[in-house]
Structure 1
């Protein structure tokens, strides 16, 4: 019986054959529009047979110039179906291939490459350098989907193990507490997910947060965990220059090399761009090669479209209020990058930080320039204002050595706690593979020691000298500088400007290398000797240097008692740290302000380990309008001590110095009728009376109040689009059980069977040819000349098709922490009889499959100027009226905290108003039909290849097109056998 899928394939084949003239008809029109590449063009037909050779169509639209090559692929072993397909390929400068087994698919499909390269090979002149787009160093792209299946398999395995434990508990346990837990669907679901009963929401959040922290890795942002290395490749063709009697134009292959994207990024040192400045690279298709917002990984697995992220998808203009809006300024900049034009533009953009939980709006100046010899353009973005200027401060190392002060230079790094930016290159050996195990701190100390010796040279060029050209091939292969050899020591690179800037910053921050207690500094400034809970004081500079001093009485990480790593050991990337960027950006709001923050998952951590970070930017100013950031200073404070200080201050009446009877009459945060929150400039809770609120977004607790703050212009609501998002589609569950048949199901099967047979009869009897009397059909064929007219000879081929797997096995497995817990199943209705529990349905997870999608989220930004009146910060008061059936309201008050990025929000708690939840989790953008169609039809501007070789006048002399060869007797062999037979007969006679 013919299945519906077979019917669809037959109909599609007929439609494709009928419309195969369409590309030829519109080809010239398409080229005139300028959208095409105007280079090599081909039609590739994959089929199990063709009813005609369509000679009339080809002669009308493709001959005699042969603008379009035709490649035909015959699937199966049917010999009689070769004739027309081979003729179509050979008559249109193409190639015919018959694919009989799965194992030969890869080899046979690639036969079109040498054919397309024939004109280039025949000219024997141009060796074009071809650069690829960005890709990850994985063995096979299919490995990505396989890894996701492994991840889903692990989730299923864990849930199955917990299900088996649950079965045993139901069977063996008679405890009333266990039976009550089994009747609670939330408890059952949590046990199936995490293997424990009685988990609180805090415990569940702690489990998820711990897995997320592991997945974020060292760099501190999802999608940037080391494990995948992005690369691009450059290749040149290798031609066969041998002269033969028959023209073949063989392409021997290509010679190429892989170039890690990280090595390209090193050529644009970040310290030269400064804080919040960045570089990026775009190819001729507008796709990003590297960009700070390129996020290629989702939960430790490459995203499906990681290598085709457009420049317009990573730069978000401030005017974009709908998904994929066409901003003219952005598209003009993109066109300049694609065309490799030198450009300079100013744009207002929105930039998200901290895993898309914070947002910054600012103007940025963009510069674009082509990279010669490649299809790439380099772009640089600099923030308006402070991005125009740069602090120039260096210590000339050679002069220090001449003045016999080299010892002072080394002393700056001999004591105290300090670290360098782990991703920056200060000095490195070019050929030493073992230096990856050396930290930047160890390398800089080694090179500073070498710099004090005679004949020191900076060697500030990155080009690596090739081996000695007089070496023979064997020597060249064996050549590799060894550890400690002269070759190794002389082949190094040192960034002179960066190192000498580092020395300047080290001397300027030398106070952090002295053993001075923080309490002593506080006393020296005539402040209270009260312990504020400061654990660490630190400074980070423009050169990537970070210094800090620990407070032994408060810092548990300094004495080894902390479970968490030291704050400065993790956040050691200086100007690339979020707290550094935020402090610099907030400087224009308030030059004296400290920027406070806490971890978003603070509520899931040990309360004794949670730290508050307070940072402030240090700018160097000149002539009252030139200023540039030089460093950021800050402290980390124990959150519990910070909350104690918060309560102590907010429980006081501002009109009285102490809590006397008059003060108690006033309303303070000590009153049970008030809930007080300390919020940062993005709406996250820094402190409250409930420590479980720490780090959460205020809208998740008081959504209605948050909306009122937006309406009162205390916060600004800013929409962000994520065009690199991944959505998880739930796969339908399948089981081995048979389907329960119903009368309706039986009728559907019968109708499908009838329609299948009807279509099969139409195909076999060729009745559908009545609508086209000119339709022709292929004849069975045997041996033929591919370029000759078809004959009526028939040759049959019989035999089974042997399918083999074309892919190898993967040994790599995902780490246990790769999968973040997701919603597995809907909570089933539990039976009243515990004996019928648990059902098998509970053992299954909802398997998911990732797909690219667009998401959007609303983030919030504090509007400090709206809280100011006559140069002073005034409280903003409001009230939610009639928010409950009893007619009560909820008044609230907002007050800016001086010299910080914080506001104090006091909310009345007596009226039980229902509050909506306002979260900041991205949601998928549901495109309507019109938007979806426009998105498919709209193609961003792309640049055509700079040169194209698709024609050679002598190519028609090449007869190799994949047609079947003739099997016939050899004349020489027959003559030899005949002579031998005559000779033997004469000898015998």
Structure 2
């Protein structure tokens, strides 16, 4: 009612426009390309610094050098003195690095347990790679969105920035080993692996390849990973690869097996080819459950005496959280069911709304069949980015999803209403980029918007069009605050406090909430409509679930459901939501959704009261739930029972029905 009264006031300043999908995807590709370019440039600076440092270094087998070993830092002996290769290493918690304790000035070195910490090759490598510390820090100052940077040496050590205690990484690894050991007894061997035939076939394929000249001219290798072989297969190696090579101990792996790296990398270093490699999406479970990708480049020896030998010194890389890419997506333009996705040059899906960590199984992927099911009914537009065959695309739903509207209000009025206590913006949407500059990191999105729109921080990178729409939504929805307050005051005189929360969300990520009861009296979990409530708030890749459900129905009708999380906790609440359409037209965009949370007992009582109000002329119900031979149920769109005469069935029972009766409430 509050919005209807002020509707005519804003209609003249609103216009509906059709989304230009091609323009949208091209703009998104440009933004993603800029992110990839910056990360690749940071990696290339590490490559140049590493190669120059190695070029200037002369190998010294007697070199003595103390470095910070990640396993030993801040360790003390029985006398309280720092252990060798440990030393005092300042660590401070940093929210940018998942609240881990890190050192932003120095890196640390990890050495495998089967290698000697003071091996001459290790000490020399650690010594010349110390030059990377300056570049690590410089990269982070240039681009504060960077996270982990590292150098993995072909000699076996690993240098990581910022420096941290190895326990934060080693502890989850030890847990993984313990988990593996606990389930080892459940593994049973069956079948026979015919390694001899496999090796013979592999050598035959390589021989045929070399004789016919088919395929690309590249390095070749046969690699076998096994827990042990039942024979030596001397006859196979004598026939195809004489003299045979033999590994007798773990230490021989570095000396013999890893030798192929130098051979296979030789063409690259001779031609000075520093290929940029992007990984598929993965999770570094030792740090967090955040999906990320990594950009990596090889580091080669450029010394004149070894240049033609093609010596691979190692690999440098940096991680990029996929959340950083998701923040570039203009979700307000894609709409409720629209989304964006990216595919790597190797065909891996890099970003997609269904690409989520499945903690129970430990896998992080979207089945490709599911992906192509989306492609069958959504319109995709692809383009290329970052100078390779990688692609980015958007999917727009038909009908109202292809349209959006623009409104216009004064900046002063918009900022005034935006700062009201009942207003919040989507945490994972980027209205202003506060990550690029260190001095902006402490700002909230609303604070950044105010500084940008008032001209006090003109260097802030903000989406002016999105902000203008947010200000419009803030002004248009402002009367709700007074309306809800009036309802709360009237409700205080009534002891039946069935409705607990009212909430509204707009297509720009703006939310308004109002509590009709004290917070400690709310039945639902405390994280409802907060960042912890992933399904109930605006995220980088989707609108709230209650918003999407309402938008799927005819505007003006209400959708009732029991929140899944509350069902698990046996919290007796019901959510009711409805979509708000700008115009009475099927092509009119959905501009907002509004809803309430009420006690289940309150909702059931209202339902039974309505059921007994028959509309027949004689006032008699042809079918009555009071009939002992009839069982009445109210089922939501997920098949869960909302109302039944047997209350124990609610919240713990779902019905699978072939014919659904939809209850629409106007």
Q: CA deviation at 1:230?
A: 1.9
Partner of 1:612: 574
Q: CA deviation at 1:516?
A: 4.2
Partner of 1:413: 418
Supply the distance in 2 between the matched residues of 1:430 and 1:601 (Cα, whole angstroms): 32
- Call closer, same or farther: CA 1:248–1:637 in 2, change over 3 Å: same
Answer whether contact 1:50 1:84 (CA < 8 A) is retained: no
Q: In the alignment, which of 429, 434, 437 is matched to residue 434 of structure 2?
A: 429
Partner of 1:897: 663
- Call closer, same or farther: CA 1:671–1:49 in 2, change over 3 Å: closer
Partner of 1:255: 316
- Report SS of the residue matched to 1:621: coil
Q: In the alignment, which of 542, 549, 562 is matched to residue 514 of structure 2?
A: 549
- Call closer, same or farther: CA 1:37–1:383 in 2, change over 3 Å: farther
Supply the distance in 2 between the matched residues of 1:626 and 1:416 (Cα, whole angstroms): 34
- Call closer, same or farther: CA 1:50–1:592 in 2, change over 3 Å: closer
- Call closer, same or farther: CA 1:244–1:595 in 2, change over 3 Å: same
Partner of 2:444: 443
Supply the distance in 1 between the matched residues of 2:529 and 2:610 (Cα, whole angstroms): 29
Find the structure with the greater CA-based Rg.
1
Partner of 2:472: 504
Q: In the alignment, which of 584, 593, 601 is matched to residue 551 of structure 2?
A: 584
User: What per-residue deviation string (whole Å, max 9, x for no partner) do you get for residues 57-79 of structure 1?
Assistant: 76xxxxxxxxxxx7xxxxxxxxx
Answer whether contact 2:523 2:573 (CA < 8 A) is retained: no
Answer whether contact 1:652 1:668 (CA < 8 A) is retained: no
Q: TM-score, normalised by structure 2?
A: 0.61
Answer whether contact 2:524 2:566 (CA < 8 A) is retained: no
Q: In the alignment, which of 28, 33, 44 is matched to residue 223 of structure 2?
A: 44
Partner of 1:272: 333
Supply the distance in 2 between the matched residues of 1:123 and 1:416 (Cα, whole angstroms): 62
Partner of 2:368: 311
Supply the distance in 1 between the matched residues of 2:216 and 2:552 (Cα, whole angstroms): 44
Partner of 1:748: none
Residue 186 (structure 2) pairs with residue 230 (structure 1)? no
Q: TM-score, normalised by structure 1?
A: 0.42
Partner of 2:357: 296
Supply the distance in 2 between the matched residues of 1:292 and 1:583 (Cα, whole angstroms): 19
User: What per-residue deviation string (whole Å, max 9, x for no partner) do you get for residues 602-660 of structure 1?
Assistant: 56645xx52221111112238x45321111112222211110111122234543797xx
The size of the alignment, in residue pairs, is: 467
Higher relative contact order (CA 8 A, sep 6+): 1
Unaligned segments of structure 1, at least 5 residues: 59-69, 71-82, 87-97, 140-225, 318-329, 331-346, 349-363, 401-405, 460-491, 524-528, 716-893, 901-989
Answer whether contact 1:603 1:691 (CA < 8 A) is retained: no
Supply the distance in 2 between the matched residues of 1:602 and 1:369 (Cα, whole angstroms): 42
Q: CA deviation at 1:283?
A: 2.1
- Call closer, same or farther: CA 1:614–1:38 in 2, change over 3 Å: farther
Q: CA deviation at 1:393?
A: 2.5
Residue 346 (structure 2) pairs with residue 282 (structure 1)? no
Taking the TM superposition and a 5 Å limit, the aligned residue runs for 1:359-758 are 364-395=378-409, 400=411, 406=412, 408-430=413-435, 443-451=444-452, 456-457=457-458, 459=459, 492-514=460-482, 516-517=484-485, 519=487, 533-551=498-516, 555-557=517-519, 562=523, 564-565=525-526, 567-569=528-530, 570=533, 571-573=536-538, 576-587=543-554, 591-600=555-564, 605=569, 609-621=571-583, 624=585, 626-655=587-616, 663=620, 667-696=623-652, 698-699=654-655, 706=657, 710=658, 714-715=659-660
- Call closer, same or farther: CA 1:521–1:594 in 2, change over 3 Å: farther
Answer whether contact 1:288 1:310 (CA < 8 A) is retained: no
Residue 206 (structure 2) pairs with residue 24 (structure 1)? yes
- Report SS of the residue matched to 1:583: helix
- Report SS of the residue matched to 2:280: coil
Supply the distance in 2 between the matched residues of 1:130 and 1:101 (Cα, whole angstroms): 32
- Report SS of the residue matched to 1:543: coil
Q: CA deviation at 1:455?
A: 5.5
Answer whether contact 2:414 2:472 (CA < 8 A) is retained: no
Supply the distance in 2 between the matched residues of 1:656 and 1:275 (Cα, whole angstroms): 43
Unaligned segments of structure 2, at least 5 residues: 1-187
Supply the distance in 2 between the matched residues of 1:381 and 1:562 (Cα, whole angstroms): 38
Supply the distance in 2 between the matched residues of 1:21 and 1:127 (Cα, whole angstroms): 30
- Call closer, same or farther: CA 1:627–1:29 in 2, change over 3 Å: farther
Residue 284 (structure 2) pairs with residue 137 (structure 1)? yes
- Call closer, same or farther: CA 1:547–1:657 in 2, change over 3 Å: farther
Supply the distance in 2 between the matched residues of 1:415 and 1:39 (Cα, whole angstroms): 64
